């Protein structure tokens, strides 16, 4: 194959065939995908959760991950947040002409590894090559499907007064890493994306604690925006204690240099869990027993004080609103 992706590879002809067999099947292959039929034939039973997401991250490689593994983690996590066991995913690649073949290979390999760790099969896919400038290096769409095991299904509108709010670990790592790498900023201490598949941990959690009301991954918009979505659909108030929200010191430092708020930064390997307070300790125990939930803590409580709002109790004991993110976070002037 050529050392750069050429328009030919998207032609549907021989070049495409080669790309698929020498690259995609090599890293993503399994009995279903290998058949190369027009569609995958799957067997699933009971309630099904399905989710799709497109990944356009810039840069495509960042400390702690890349667009390939991210595309698996993001979709697997979305399915798992419904209390489902993710089983199959699909992937659509839109590749910019000229992308180094080595980069593409690195991405596909990483996607294969991520799928294997997560225990999902890539069962169907598509590749398109578009002329230089028509997309930014590479875009990936993934759709995931899984079997729902939680009953009732966790849902954003199910939070109740008195529920405890838990987070599975430190926040802001992914967002700051991607922003820092994009802008070529060299943080004193290294920050790294938390991109990871949370499904194994989540399945354990909902199996042992069917009482879970809400599961959400605070991706774009971060913790603050996700909690706002939950309080709005559940019509409760979330009271958060600032001092109990876990943020790595290096993330705090990076944010204060850039004038960003870690509570609004994206996460790709963390989840929020809302459940009746009497089950909070058990949930934390389950989470902390897993490496991906090691730093889990309780950060707040749902009340009926200001329905639809998130209130932050600061270190000083003052209270303030924690609103939704408006557009993207922009660094300040000085």
The Cα 32–Cα 41 span in angstroms is: 8
Residue closer to ligand SF4, measured from CB, 100 or 259: 259
In the list ligand SF4, other proteins, none, the entry touching 131 (Cβ below 5 to 8 angstroms by class) is: none
Tokens of 174: 């992914």
Q: Choose the stretch contacting other proteins; rule: CB under 8 A; options: 2-10, 67-75, 148-156, 250-258.
A: 250-258
In the list other proteins, ligand SF4, none, the entry touching 306 (Cβ below 5 to 8 angstroms by class) is: other proteins
Residue closer to other proteins, measured from CB, 189 or 277: 189
> By three-state DSSP, how is residue 260 classified?
coil
Give backbone dihedrals phi and psi of 220, rounded to 5 degrees, phi first: -60, 140
The Cα 41–Cα 58 span in angstroms is: 34
Chain residues 314-333 in contact with ligand SF4, contact rule CB under 6 A: 333
Contact in structure between 169 and 270 (CB atoms under 8 Å): yes
Is 46 near other proteins (CB under 8 A)? no
The Cα 322–Cα 258 span in angstroms is: 19
In the list other proteins, ligand SF4, none, the entry touching 319 (Cβ below 5 to 8 angstroms by class) is: other proteins
- Which residue has tokens 């889990």? 296
Residue closer to other proteins, measured from CB, 22 or 183: 183
Residue closer to ligand SF4, measured from CB, 249 or 332: 332
Residues contacting 307, CB < 8 A, separation 6+: 231, 235, 236, 237
Is 235 near other proteins (CB under 8 A)? no
The residue from 39, 41, 316, 334 that contacts ligand SF4 (CB under 6 A) is 334
Q: Choose the stretch contacting other proteins; rule: CB under 8 A; options: 39-47, 111-119, 191-199, 319-327.
A: 319-327
Is 303 near other proteins (CB under 8 A)? no
Contact in structure between 73 and 126 (CB atoms under 8 Å): no
Residue closer to ligand SF4, measured from CB, 39 or 334: 334
How big is the site for ligand SF4, counted in residues (CB under 6 A)? 2
Contact in structure between 138 and 213 (CB atoms under 8 Å): no
Residue 151, classified by CB atoms within 10 Å of its CB into exposed (0-12), middle (13-18) or buried (19+), is: exposed
Residue closer to ligand SF4, measured from CB, 316 or 334: 334
Strands 237-241 and 319-321: unpaired
The residue from 209, 210, 306, 308 that contacts other proteins (CB under 8 A) is 306
Q: DSSP E strands: which ranges in the chain?
A: 48-55, 61-62, 65-66, 84-96, 121-130, 138-148, 163-167, 214-216, 237-241, 272-276, 297-303, 310-313, 319-321
In the list ligand SF4, other proteins, none, the entry touching 310 (Cβ below 5 to 8 angstroms by class) is: none
Residue 87: strand pairing partners: none
The Cα 152–Cα 198 span in angstroms is: 20
In the list ligand SF4, other proteins, none, the entry touching 317 (Cβ below 5 to 8 angstroms by class) is: other proteins
Q: Choose the stretch contacting other proteins; rule: CB under 8 A; options: 55-63, 90-98, 123-131, 317-325.
A: 317-325
Is 311 near other proteins (CB under 8 A)? yes
Least Å distance, CB 36 to ligand SF4, is: 58
Is 101 near other proteins (CB under 8 A)? no
Any idea what DSSP says for residue 47? Answer: S
Contact in structure between 126 and 41 (CB atoms under 8 Å): no
Q: Which residue's C-beta sits nearest to ligand SF4?
A: 334
> By three-state DSSP, how is residue 99 classified?
coil
Is 183 near other proteins (CB under 8 A)? yes
Residue numbers at the binding site for other proteins (CB under 8 A):
183, 185, 242, 249, 252-253, 258-259, 306, 309, 311-321, 323, 326-327, 330-334
Residue numbers at the binding site for ligand SF4 (CB under 6 A):
333-334
């Amino acid at each position: 194959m050529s050392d750069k992706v050429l328009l030919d590879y998207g032609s549907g002809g021989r070049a495409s065939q080669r790309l698929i067999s020498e690259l995609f099947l090599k890293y993503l292959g399994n009995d279903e995908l290998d058949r190369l039929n027009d569609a995958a034939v799957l067997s699933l039973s009971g309630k099904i959760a399905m989710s799709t997401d497109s990944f356009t991250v810039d840069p495509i490689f960042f400390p702690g991950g890349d667009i390939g593994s991210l595309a698996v983690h993001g979709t697997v996590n979305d399915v798992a947040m419904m209390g489902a066991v993710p089983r199959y995913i699909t992937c659509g690649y839109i590749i910019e002409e000229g992308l180094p073949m080595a980069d593409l290979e690195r991405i596909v390999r990483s996607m294969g590894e991520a799928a294997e760790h997560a225990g999902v099969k890539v069962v169907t896919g598509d590749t398109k090559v578009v002329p230089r400038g028509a997309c930014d290096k590479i875009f990936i769409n993934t759709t995931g499907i899984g079997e729902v095991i939680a009953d009732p299904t966790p849902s954003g509108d199910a939070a109740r007064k008195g529920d405890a709010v838990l987070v599975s670990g430190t926040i802001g790592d992914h967002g700051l890493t991607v922003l820092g790498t994009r802008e070529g900023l060299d943080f004193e201490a290294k920050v790294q994306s938390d991109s990871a598949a949370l499904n194994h941990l989540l399945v354990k959690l909902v199996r042992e604690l069917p009482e879970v009301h809400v599961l959400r991954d605070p991706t774009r918009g971060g913790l603050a925006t996700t909690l706002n979505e939950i309080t709005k659909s559940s019509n409760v108030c979330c009271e958060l204690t600032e001092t109990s929200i876990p943020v790595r010191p290096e993330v705090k430092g990076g944010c204060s240099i850039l004038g960003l708020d870690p509570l609004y930064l994206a996460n790709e390997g963390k989840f929020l869990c809302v459940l009746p307070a009497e089950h909070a300790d058990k949930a934390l125990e389950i989470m902390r027993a897993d490496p991906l939930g090691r730093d889990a803590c309780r950060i707040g409580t749902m009340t009926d004080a200001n329905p639809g709002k998130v209130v932050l109790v600061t270190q000083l004991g003052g209270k303030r609103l924690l609103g939704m993110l408006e557009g993207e976070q922009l660094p300040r002037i000085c």
